Amino acid sequence: MSRFDWLPDFLAKLEDASITAPCGPASGGTPASLLVVDAADWGRVASVAISFNCRLAGLWGDQREGKIMLFCCLERQGDYLLLRTAVPLSHPELPSHTFWFPSADRLERHARDLLGVIFTRHPDSRRWTRHRAWPETDYPLRSDFPAAGRRTTKTPQDEEYPFLRAKGTGVYEIPVGPVHAGIIEPGHFRFQAVGEEVLNLEERLGYLHKGIEKIAVGRDSAGLARLAGRVSGDSTVAHAWAACQAMERAAGIEPPPRGLALRALLAERERIANHLGDIGAICNDVGFAFALYQFSRLREIWQRRSAELFGHRLLMDRVVPGGVGVDLESNGSLSLREDHRLLRKELNGLFDILEDHPSLEDRLLTTGRLTAESARSLGSLGYVGKASGQGFDVRHNNPYAPYDRMEVAVPVFEEGDVAARVRVRMEEVRISLDLLDCLLAGLPAGEVRQEMPSLISSAEGVGFVEGWRGEIITYVRFDGEGRVARFFPRDPSWFTWPALERIVLGNIVPDFPVCNKSVNGSYSGHDL
């Protein structure tokens, strides 16, 4: 477990900079330390944090009694440090962290659009989440704004967003989206190119703003778990787990061992299903349709087994507060073991084909390279970060039950290209199959769920879970009546979408689809 060996030196550095910041454990049993920072020192603390090679892992705001509380989550050597400060609602202004942490860019713009927090010296004043759905002077996450909004007319088109412009002889622009030919959610991509080479890519996301954070307010724990499972449908297990973990820490309870083991089993099944789908889709984007057919077939078999044993192809609503909502019968355990054996056998042959197919290598090797420096700067983790030298995995670096009793291998590559991101997925499938066998072999007996307290009053907690795309961080606070007062789920895609803008630079326009698919950011997980 993490030990915060570096924290005394960090606090000493703050003291040397004349920064007074009381430090203590975070509330709700959260495995993090809490640093209470004066608003005037918010930016200077970030400068110290970057000198300690901290990673910015999340940033969110929370309105409370005439103030806005701001939280920044930092990570170093597997330890989490929460920074907290407060600014008056009448003048919510703070120094921007984006100068030190580029990964703070969109999170700060999100907090500005929805809460009205002004981040001074922020390099980008353009709205991000707003999309003209409400007036410039309205902030939907404030308590006086109705969940249904105030607009009575059709939302005007967001046609005046000031995209960056590239000028010069032979430079041209390609707009793509927001409506796409496939069934993916809307997102706009604006390219500048010369010939076929991409000079610049700018994204515009958030076209289907769901108001997740707003409609969470007033829910009970069961209602919030269902909502969390719909933040991003392909990560329903991971997001529900992170939300439940945060609520359980706020309530001071621990799910029974069998319930925790089954959560991990569901999460690894979710990881395998998505990686199988992605591997096939990436190959299909460069014309290798054989892989799409084979991996889609395997994914379909896998999801049908999930529906048979757990009641849902995507495992939605299987994770509930206090544990899981469905048990695994003994004959189901035998079926899964046989499934794992057969899948390994098929994958051995298929992976051999992918690793020794010259025409596939020609399209994937060196394509869409993300350097380790860029990945670290943007905070990109999961398969995107692991392919670019970033080995962080919550299950390994800050393990939670039942992973704290298991050895979780973390595949890390340095090439940073599409081929490396495929290799990470392949290795993670193998690792997950091993973890599943380990979970089944040691599956505890007993109950699968503990009842949540009927009243969780004025408590808060933070959940840290490794989803299939990477680290998920979820903050939950309850009001005095035990209802949800604040919910913020930070999907890994907040930090991988910006990576795509760098990945595609210097590549040819026809390679954008495979670069994009190799990142596979969640539109929904980003568009709260």
SS3 460: strand
Segment 20-34 mean pLDDT: 83
Return the bridge partners of 130, or none: none
CA distance 162 to 260: 47
What pLDDT is stored for residue 1 in this prediction?
A: 45
Mean pLDDT of the chain: 94
Other C-beta atoms lying within 10 Å of the C-beta of residue 254 = 15
Model confidence band, residue 332 (pLDDT cutoffs 50, 70, 90) = very high
Tell me the whole-structure pTM to 2 decimals: 0.96
Give the position of tokens 């390679």.
Answer: 511
Segment 411-423 mean pLDDT: 97
> Judging by DSSP bridges, how do beta strands 79-88 and 93-95 pair with one another?
unpaired
Nearest to 245 by CA among 29, 85, 427: 29
CA distance 223 to 143: 20
CA distance 216 to 487: 6
Q: Domains (ranges, CATH) in the chain?
A: 7-120 (3.30.460.80), 220-519 (1.10.645.10)
pLDDT, tens digit (0-9, with 9 covering 90-100), for 252-300 = 999 999 999 999 999 999 999 999 999 999 999 999 999 999 999 999 9
- Tell me the two tokens of residue 119: 């981040």
Segment 84-99 mean pLDDT: 95
Instruction: Check pLDDT > 80 for residue 181.
Output: no
Kindly give, in sequence order, each residue whose CB lies less than 8 Å from that of residue 324, ignoring residues fewer than 6 positions away.
255, 259, 262, 263, 266, 318, 448, 449
Cβ distance 238 to 522 under 8 Å? no
Cβ distance 190 to 204 under 8 Å? yes
Cβ distance 133 to 126 under 8 Å? no
pLDDT, tens digit (0-9, with 9 covering 90-100), for 103-152 = 999 999 999 999 999 999 999 999 898 888 888 889 999 999 998 888 88
Lowest mean pLDDT among 27-41, 42-56, 222-236: 27-41
Q: Please, what is the Cα angle at 421 between 420 and 425, to 5 degrees?
A: 115
- Tell me the two tokens of residue 104: 């703070």
CA distance 267 to 234: 11
Strands (E), 365-469: 460-467
CA distance 489 to 470: 13
Segment 344-352 mean pLDDT: 96
